Structure 1
Amino acid sequence: MNSPQVQRGAFLLMLLTVTCAFIWILLPFFGAVMWGVALAILFTPLYKRLLRRMPGRRNLAALATLTICLVIVILPLAAVTVSLIQEVVLVTQNIRSGQLNFASYFQQILDATPRWIISLLDRFNLGNMAAWQARISDVATQGSQVVASQALTIGQNTFNFVVSFFVMLYLLYFVMRDGGALSKTVRDALPFAKPHTHYLLNKFTTVIRATIKGNVAVAVAQGTIGGLAFWFLGVQGALLWAVLMAFLSLLPAVGAAIIWGPVAIYFLATGQWVQGGVLIFVGVFVIGLVDNILRPLLVGKDTQMPDYIVLMSTIGGMAIFGINGFVLGPVIAALFMAAWSLFSASNDEDGNAPPVP
């Protein structure tokens, strides 16, 4: 009963049990832990640069990096969130009061639609415009109710959000300060060959940096450009639409067009040719170029993954993990490709691993 095999089996069982229990404990703070680690990976180069200027003062360098992270990332995001909540409340009130009436906008489009198009829709049993208006009114009403309920949920979960926020900051500080030692501990603990371990960990950190920098840069650029265009053209709730365009821009190729496309169609259908032309120009030649130029440079180039893999892994990750999925999806895809690359290399005659990036 005390043979080495039994002892090793019991030890592995205990190791698996306590690991699962530890993960279970961390699950309520999954988002905070993930973003704490991700931001630490993103800002570690800045921390190392500050540490070279203040050698031996790791605490001060980590605190300075955390302060910079707060100033350029977290505080602006918090300010936008507060403004967004106010905008959502205002738009919801306008929908309920009838000042923002999507059914009337749809009716204006119908009035400007050529009769031959309506006749064509009738042939495919799509010409019941009264039913379409009723559906749009129902969707708008239900949407406002969902937004109101979500706002109430956010208010009720304020305490959990505050706790998670401080957990993220706490973890971010210590992961930046002790990142080197933690990385060495992970490398030593993983039961892989050292070159394989270095390759996988480097791939992990590279993909996280590229995904966050690339997707966030694209989202901020597209949301800002789209929001300014809406504000210039007099569209109500420009900030809300800007945030929605930024969020949807996480979906490569199609994202922001889901918002600006229908608005451009409305402008053209109601005879506002200048506004419609301006919005189409901005959407296709400015917002579109941002997606087609920045995303491959900042995401695909560093991750060394094809664009279609980035697209599918981003969409799939967000479908499973929510907003966290736009980081987790590409990371899982990159590790999948890296693991199979190592497996393929191990079957070669020399058995060498791919070069470490």
Structure 2
Amino acid sequence: MTNQWIHTGSSLQRYFFLLLLMLVSLLFFYLLKPLFTPVFWACVISLLFYPFQTKLQRRWGSRPNLIALTTLLLCSVVAVIPILLLLASFVREGAILYEKIDSGEIDPEAYVDRLQSALPLLQRPLDWFGVGADSLKEHISSGALAASGFAAENVFSLGQSTFKFFLSLALMLYLTFFLLRDGSRLVDLVARALPLGKERERLLFSKFVKVSRATVKGNLVVALVQGTLGGIIFWILGIYAPVLWAVGMAMLSLIPAVGAGVIWLPFSIYLFAIGEVSSAVVLVLYGVLVIGLADNILRPILVGRDTKLPDWLVLLSTLGGLMTFGINGFVVGPLIAALFLVFWQIFSRDFNVDGLQDEQE
């Protein structure tokens, strides 16, 4: 009887401790919620540049501080600084475009009229969908004003919260340094705390790191390359605000079944309509043969066949991530999808009852 009471008491203490552990963990993550963006991108950067760090470790030996600092400087030069300059140019060009549309210097309705007069056949498919010329011009004008106004608003918000922005940037770089230096140790601590078994933990971490790194690296690099290629051809052809459209193409390239063609194809149609046939042909050929093929060539190299997520899953996870996490959802969504697949692979391997029975027989 006494032993039963002792056993019951120890079980009650264990369950109560687990309840408190879950509560404290939830409170800790809720505490870090305002800092989600710098913490998340610090984890992403440390994950992407970890292979370079391991090469330095093999060459320089045990110098964790120097290796982490060198890796941080490399990722700042290669990724952080160029992206900051690109975003600054994007916001600046968006603000200028908004001012020109708002002042009437650029009239989207005039472009629509010119396009309709040059290509009257375009009105027929619009009539099928019940879209009139006046409503089309109104929607295009309001959409252009809203899109450029979004970038203009970010200029003022960036100026008003400059301290907050650079504080988040400094926090991200600070966390990245310690994640690069102590990342392996933190992973070991987490693996030791998780009651999953060594083999299962090793499989979970290895597959998740492999899939997530390949997915993030593949999506981001392909999007940046396609956006850069699109911006170059827009600049060569003299299309206004090439950086603005380059960023737009890069963002759309992250979404499967959408891609950069949503931007360069309408521009090619407009160039053809206004009589610049050679520029239109160049843009179409460049968009199909260079921008379009960049995805087919780079993605298998960066992602690989075994770690590539299905396009439909990338589409759903990207859109869901955008709606849930905002701009960070471009990366958070596919990462969650990768983690989802890894857990189900482990479950199907280790917890499938039919599979276990077949193995026993």
Question: RMSD over aligned Cα, in angstroms?
Answer: 2.2
**Partner Cα separation in structure 2 for residue 34 and residue 305 of structure 1:** 21
By how many angstroms is 1:139 displaced?
2.5
Alpha-carbon distance in structure 1 between the residues aligned to 2:126 and 2:16: 69
Match of 1:141 among 135, 139, 145: 145
Q: Deviations over 1:282-327 (max 9, x none)?
A: 1111111112222243235352433332333233323322232232
Counterpart of 1:234 (choices 224, 233, 238) is: 238
- Comparing 2-11 with 22-31, which one deviates more in the overlay? 2-11
Q: Which residue of structure 2 lines up, in the alignment, with residue 176 of structure 1?
A: 180
Letter paired with 1:111: S
Q: Deviations over 1:82-119 (max 9, x none)?
A: 222322222122212222221111010111123x6546
- Give the Cα–Cα distance (whole angstroms) in 2 for the partners of residues 120 and 212 of structure 1: 39
The structure 2 residue matched to 1:349, chosen from 351, 356, 361, is 356
Residues 66-97 of structure 1: CA distance to partner in whole angstroms, max 9, x if unpaired?
Answer: 11111111111122222223222221222122
Quick check: 2:208–2:339 contact (8 Å CA) kept in 1?
yes
Distance apart, 1:243 and its partner CA: 1.1
User: Of residues 81, 84, 107 in structure 2, which corresponds to 1:101?
Assistant: 107
Return the alpha-carbon distance in structure 2 between the equivalents of residues 214 and 135 of structure 1: 35
Match of 2:301 among 260, 284, 297: 297
Matches within 5 A, 1:1-357: 3-114=9-120, 118=123, 121-122=126-127, 125-126=130-131, 128-299=132-303, 301=305, 303-346=307-350, 347=352, 348-349=355-356
Distance 1:142 1:5 in 2: 60
Separation in 1 of the partners of 2:148 and 2:348? 52
In 2, Cα distance between equivalents of 1:175 and 1:132 = 51
Q: TM-score, normalised by structure 2?
A: 0.90
Structure 1 residue 227, shift from structure 2 partner: 0.7
d(CA) in 1 for partners of 2:212 and 2:256? 17
Instruction: Give the conservation status (yes or no) of the 8 Å contact 2:318–2:331.
Output: yes
Aligned residue pairs total 350
**Residue identity matched to 1:78:** L
Identity %: 43
Q: In structure 1, what is the Cα distance between the partners aligned to 2:250 and 2:82?
A: 15
Q: CA offset at residue 135 of structure 1?
A: 2.8
- SS of the equivalent of 1:159 reads helix
- Structure-1 separation of matches of 2:127 and 2:78: 54
Amino acid at match of 2:18: L
Residues 145/72 of structure 1: CA separation in 2 closer, same or farther (3 Å cut): closer
Aligned partner of 2:148: which letter?
A: S
CA offsets, 1:245-275, max 9 Å, x none?
Answer: 1111111242211111111111122222111
d(CA) in 2 for partners of 1:248 and 1:271? 28
Aligned amino acid, residue 191 of structure 2: R
Assess if the C-alpha contact under 8 Å between 1:51 and 1:57 holds in 2: yes
Task: Name structure 1 gaps, 5 residues minimum.
Answer: 353-357
Aligned-partner residue type, residue 48 of structure 1: T
The DSSP-based 3-state class of the residue aligned with 2:167 is helix
Contact 2:214/2:302 (CA < 8 Å) preserved in 1?
Answer: yes
Secondary structure of the equivalent of 2:303?
helix
What's the CA shift string for 1:138-167, capped at 9, x where partnerless? 223333333322332233332222221111
Unaligned runs of 5+ in 2: none
Change (3 A) 1:129 1:305: closer
Per the TM alignment, residue 174 of structure 1 is displaced from its structure 2 partner at its CA by 0.7
* Amino acid aligned to 1:198: R
TM-score, scaled to structure 1? 0.91
**SS, match of residue 236 in structure 1:** coil
Q: 1: CA distance between counterparts of 2:149 and 2:229?
A: 29
CA contact (8 A) 2:92 2:155 kept: no
